[in-house]
Structure 1
Amino acid sequence: MKLMKRAFYFMPLAVLLMASCSSDEDSDIDEQKPTISLNSGFPQSCEELKRGETYTFRAAAADNLELASYSLNIHHNFDHHTHDDQGSSCELNAIKASENPMIFMENYSLEEGLTSYEINLVIEIPNDVDTGDYHCAYSVTDVTGWQARTSVDIKIVE
């Protein structure tokens, strides 16, 4: 009889614990990383950018829940390295040492609640940077920490 009384007192607690452990929590887990599209963006793979000119770098970012931030990274590829997220490759110039390469690395936060965003960054290619092979790498992060990246080969020319 004492055992039944104890069970009676602990039953509401057991029901409460079981209800709090429902599988609904699993549906709140974000299993999708954001996307970046350069389909109508700039630059496209193998694009030639002239020193001293100003360009608008564009890409479309989207996420199933919410975007948090994005970044743009332009760096030389004089050593012919590649990135795991890189699309098609372009014909490369000869390997060379850098003297004054263009390096652009900026991160940008996004306002809350956006599930899509059009990246538009106006960037001037300095007159005095080394010409040659470069990578243009976009990255986007969602609110849960998932990240997507894509990069294209570009050239800076006279």
Structure 2
Amino acid sequence: MEFSTKYFYIAILILVVSSCTTDENADKDEQKPTIDINYDEGFPQACSQVVRGETYSFKAMVSDNAELASYSLDIHHNFDHHTHDDQDGECSLDPKKTPTNPWIFIENYSIEGGLTNYEIGISLTIPHNIDTGDYHCSFSVIDETGWQSRTSVDIKIIE
């Protein structure tokens, strides 16, 4: 009886171990989404100038191999001449200054419907009462698995 009980437990153990599977064959998304502002309607381009009180359409193309989830637009002052590791282009900068009323715009948006390609289009009016000078405009995009990409450009807000 002890002999058959031993083989019974060994058989159960073999069944349990062999029934476990791994997801090695499952498709894993290991690719970051992409952002492109370097096309005819892409805005702003590096070193663009925008005028206080005017309305602009900030546009970028984003894509992913699987599914896009969300994107954001971040506009903030660059009066201290900081840089971003994803920055495109090199522009002439005004002298460093202390901000008195800088513009900071940060908004997040969802991308619905399982899309793999999407054109960001955000209409913004540059406020009248903000400091003029050097700013950064940054787009970022996140896919459904959490991969993120971003791109930044220098812009200048003028009177």
Please give the TM-score of this superposition, normalised by the length of structure 1.
Answer: 0.90
Give CA deviations for 1:108-127 in whole Å, capped at 9, x if unaligned.
01103111110000000111
Q: 1:5 to 1:130 in 2, by over 3 A?
A: closer
Match in the other structure for 1:12: 15
Report the alpha carbon displacement of residue 4 of structure 1 after superposing the two structures with TM.
4.6
Alignment of structure 1 residues 1-158 onto 2, 5 Å = 2=4, 4-17=7-20, 20-21=21-22, 23-24=24-25, 27-40=26-39, 41-158=42-159
CA, structure 1 residues 12+87, in 2 after alignment: closer, same or farther (shift >3 Å)?
A: same
After TM superposition, the structure 1 stretch with the greater mean CA deviation from structure 2, 124-133 or 1-10, is 1-10
Q: Which amino acid aligns with 2:156?
A: K
Shift of residue 102 of structure 1? 1.3
Which structure shows the higher helix fraction?
1
Q: How many residues align?
A: 154
- Distance in structure 2 (CA, Å) of the matches to 1:99 and 1:14: 67
- List alignment gaps of at least 5 residues for structure 2: none
| 1:154 match: secondary structure | strand
Distance 1:149 1:89 in 2: 17
Moved over 6 A (4+): none
For the residues of structure 1 that align with 2:137 and 2:60, how far apart are their CA atoms? Answer: 11
- For 1:12, give the aligned amino acid: L
Residues 22 and 108 (structure 1), Cα distance of their counterparts in 2 relative to 1, 3 Å cut: closer
Shift of 1:22: 5.4
Structure 1 runs not aligned, ≥5 long: none
Counting aligned pairs with the same residue, the percent is: 56
Please list the CA deviations of residues 27-83 of structure 1 after superposition, one character each: whole Å capped at 9, or x if unmatched. 432111111001121000000001111000000001111111000001110000000
- Is the alpha carbon distance of 1:119 and 1:6 closer, same or farther for their aligned partners in structure 2, counting shifts above 3 Å? same
Gap change, CA 1:9 and 1:100, over 3 Å in 2: closer
